[in-house]
Structure 1
């Protein structure tokens, strides 16, 4: 029996939307309020709302299956192709598509495209053979293998099985387990059409006989060791990190429950700006994201970005990304970035916004604090060059 398509309520990030009282069941409204209050502001129908539902996304975009029959889809205010470009930079995917490839029209299409790339590349790796490594094992064996534990043998001389320590080459290692878990998560998201879902299932089954299914967080995909034998896993793990970063735990239990897929746009903007600057800033500078300033063992500040002069090691700029659209710079934002600059004895504090606003250019003590725009509306690389020219006007000749 074919399952009916769910009812979908569409929102756009940060935009208020109203819906007639009959369009959203009361039980669904209660689940949104209970399980997704960090993602969505919801006001129940009442006299003040003219008995309508009021909903507003708080800066997450994606798909939330409130129930199997009722979903919320949150569209980004950023053009979809630019969102894809941000993801490409932020996760270091470096995926090149052939000229004339179909443009993504929705967030779900972007999700499907990346899921299909991951599944196809895993199948390709399976055809070549999974990367294998040696793992240390300890077992009681009826024969000698590797190194015998003599202490154990002397303690139990009657035991015909000897405790042996040996190395075994296997494909059931973290490199491959991460792939299997990510495919499992994608399968539960219910965001892919039948064609891509079929490819995802095929890739998962290709791993299933050789790899243990274990849960992983996105952090497992970072700072892994790559070399000649597993170099192609770098892209695979970057794709896995994207899916694991943005697929949240279900609000229900059970393997059949669909999982929400939500991108934190503020976090993505921060990662994108950092990676774009690392790739494009003149080589005399070093860009360091998520710079930690420790005050004591239990308290520290994490600064979005700093730019350092490589020759002198001096911190030249402290930068703080703000994924919001105010008319002018908020005093809280200004004070925060000035505090960071003061902590690092830096003379330049920069606030970065995704759209143009009433510019800030102010001297506070020894610190010059400015607001600059890294736009997400047009071509991202052109927007980056405009931003970098405003940030480092005297270094244009280094490009």
Structure 2
């Protein structure tokens, strides 16, 4: 038997009848913001979703499977735009993901992956060269002399060789197969989509599977694999968001989740980088080599830093997937941005929220004079308008007196 629990991202907590073993598994896994038993009614659990959206299935050995679906607050089409733009700003502006047939996240994703995979494979499997190292009774390519001595102790056969093989078993096809395999295991994929995915799986049957826990094969966009680009970007979304976890007692949690904090953060950084290109300079995302103190013991990592032509830092920004409360935004965000500005020697810093009570507000820090700006982006608007809003935000940042670029 399968039970379904439906929650909405960051919505108030609700109570559901659940086996205690499932409730405890959800609490341990940290998938939800809150999972606690009801103090007065046995068998009832209080569940509240946080920033994770998607679907997971908790399987009890010999018992029922509970599927937890977490619906994002933003429309599914908008979520796909945010995801796609973050990975390929130029390739996702034309709305290549059709979401008309489905309204939930996982069915939409599965449908999109199947459609794009079909388009990629319509002209046949892509072929390319793959480096192979193996033991062979026929000399092919070059002999790996060090390996031959280490493994064969002077024997002439077999020979340790290395060569480049022209094959379909390349990274691009392996990634597509891994994504299709993963979707076929996830809960909530409609049967019609599952049938079409099985067809794509048959086309990719000869590809070496990507073992769970193994790194996703690396690929690079080229002229030769252009027809694969959209399918590969979607496949990476699937592989990044999917997860499986084994818990004590034989419990298994299997599903697909997005952290909306990361989705929004990646979008803002990618969109700001695109918007800043016309001003020259250099944009750095998730700057790592930054510290607050002179002894480099307190690490800082702002989401976005723009450097001027001279190499000096000019803009620092942080994306926050938070909704402004009635009394304003969280104060701790301001403290964090002040640390960034101080470490970079900047007179201004920018916090970019997903939604707020006002499009812009600012605070001047006493004695320091540092100005901390708080901006709000409206994710409910069409992609073109959202990108225009980011462009306007970039102009405001660049046009500040501290930078002096008009």
Report if the CA contact (8 A) 1:137-1:166 is conserved: yes
Closer, same or farther in 2 for the Cα pair 1:138/1:75, shift >3 Å?
Answer: closer
Structure 1 stretches of 5 or more lacking a match? none
- The residue that corresponds to 1:341 in the other structure is 341
Closer, same or farther in 2 for the Cα pair 1:157/1:97, shift >3 Å?
Answer: closer
Report if the CA contact (8 A) 1:217-1:244 is conserved: no
After TM superposition, give the deviation of residue 268 of structure 1 in Å: 0.2
**Equivalent residue for 1:73, pick from 69, 72, 81:** 69
After TM superposition, give the deviation of residue 38 of structure 1 in Å: 4.5
Alignment pair present for 1:261 and 2:256: yes
**Deviation readout 1:237-268 (Å, 9 max, x if unpaired):** 21121011111123369xx9672111100000
User: Which stretch has the larger CA shift, 321-330 or 104-113?
Assistant: 104-113
- The residue that corresponds to 2:374 in the other structure is 371
Closer, same or farther in 2 for the Cα pair 1:208/1:345, shift >3 Å?
Answer: same
- The residue that corresponds to 2:110 in the other structure is 112
SS of equivalent residue, structure 1 residue 378: coil
- The residue that corresponds to 2:36 in the other structure is 43
After TM superposition, give the deviation of residue 236 of structure 1 in Å: 2.9
Q: Distance in 2 between matches of 1:158 and 1:291?
A: 52
Q: Aligned ranges for residues 1-399 of structure 1 at < 5 Å?
A: 6-19=2-15, 23-34=17-28, 36-47=29-40, 53-67=45-59, 69-92=65-88, 94=92, 96=94, 102=100, 104-124=102-122, 127-141=123-137, 143-148=138-143, 159=156, 162-209=159-206, 211-215=207-211, 220=216, 224-251=219-246, 259-281=254-276, 283-285=278-280, 286-295=282-291, 300-309=299-308, 311-327=309-325, 328-357=328-357, 360-364=361-365, 365-390=368-393, 392-393=395-396
Closer, same or farther in 2 for the Cα pair 1:157/1:335, shift >3 Å?
Answer: closer
**Deviation readout 1:168-211 (Å, 9 max, x if unpaired):** 333333333222222211111133212211222222222222x2
Q: Distance in 1 between matches of 2:97 and 2:182?
A: 31
Aligned residues: 381
After TM superposition, give the deviation of residue 214 of structure 1 in Å: 2.1
Q: Distance in 2 between matches of 1:150 and 1:80?
A: 55
Report if the CA contact (8 A) 2:35-2:47 is conserved: yes
Closer, same or farther in 2 for the Cα pair 1:103/1:395, shift >3 Å?
Answer: farther
After TM superposition, give the deviation of residue 324 of structure 1 in Å: 1.4
Q: Distance in 1 between matches of 2:97 and 2:304?
A: 34
Q: Distance in 2 between matches of 1:32 and 1:118?
A: 33
SS of equivalent residue, structure 1 residue 354: strand
Q: TM-score, normalised by structure 1?
A: 0.82
After TM superposition, give the deviation of residue 395 of structure 1 in Å: 5.7
Report if the CA contact (8 A) 2:114-2:200 is conserved: no
Closer, same or farther in 2 for the Cα pair 1:369/1:167, shift >3 Å?
Answer: same
Report if the CA contact (8 A) 2:58-2:254 is conserved: no
Closer, same or farther in 2 for the Cα pair 1:264/1:351, shift >3 Å?
Answer: same
Q: Distance in 1 between matches of 2:169 and 2:176?
A: 11
CA RMSD of superposed structures (Å): 3.5
Q: Distance in 2 between matches of 1:99 and 1:157?
A: 58
Q: Distance in 1 between matches of 2:376 and 2:44?
A: 37
Structure 2 stretches of 5 or more lacking a match? none
Q: TM-score, normalised by structure 2?
A: 0.81
Q: Distance in 2 between matches of 1:193 and 1:362?
A: 50
Report if the CA contact (8 A) 1:12-1:57 is conserved: yes
After TM superposition, give the deviation of residue 158 of structure 1 in Å: 7.3
**Deviation readout 1:310-333 (Å, 9 max, x if unpaired):** x33332221111111232122211
Closer, same or farther in 2 for the Cα pair 1:112/1:369, shift >3 Å?
Answer: same
